Amino acid sequence: MHIHTLAALLLPLGSQAIDIISSNDDGWAEINIRELYSALTDAGHSVVISAPAENESGSGSDTGTPTVLTEECEFDSCPVGSPAYGYNASEPRFNYVNSYPATAMQYGIDTLGPKFFDDSAPALAVTGPNVGTNLGLVVLFSGTVGAAVSAAASGIPAIAFSGDTGSQTAWDVSPVPLYSQVYAELATNLTDHLVASGTPYLPDDIWLNVNFPAVDDDTCNSADQFSFVLSRIYTAIPLISGDDVETCGTDRLPTETEVIDTAGCYVSVSVGKTDKLDADATLQAVVLDKLSDLLVCLP
Question: Domain for residue 96, yes or no?
Answer: yes
Question: Domain for residue 45, yes or no?
Answer: yes
- Amino acid 216: pLDDT: 86
Question: Domain for residue 296, yes or no?
Answer: no
For residue 248, the domain's CATH number is 3.40.1210.10
Question: Domain for residue 295, yes or no?
Answer: no
Question: Domain for residue 297, yes or no?
Answer: no
Backbone angles phi, psi at 247, to 5 degrees: -160, 155
Question: Domain for residue 52, yes or no?
Answer: yes
Question: Domain for residue 298, yes or no?
Answer: no
In which domain, by residue range, is 8 found?
3-290
Report how many domains make up the chain: 1
Question: Domain for residue 136, yes or no?
Answer: yes
Q: How far apart are CA 264 and CA 149, in angstroms?
A: 29
Long-range contacts at 71-77 (CB < 8 A, ≥ 24 apart): 73/27, 73/28, 73/29, 74/27, 74/28, 74/29, 74/30, 74/168, 74/170, 75/27, 75/29, 75/30, 75/170, 75/171, 75/172, 77/28, 77/29, 77/53, 77/171
Tens of pLDDT, residue by residue, the chain (299 residues): 344 444 444 444 445 899 999 999 999 999 999 999 999 999 999 999 999 999 999 999 999 999 999 999 999 999 999 999 999 999 999 999 999 999 999 999 999 999 999 999 999 999 999 999 999 999 999 999 999 999 999 999 999 999 999 999 999 999 999 999 999 999 999 999 999 999 999 999 999 999 999 998 888 999 999 999 999 999 999 888 999 999 999 999 999 999 999 999 999 999 999 999 999 999 999 999 999 999 999 99
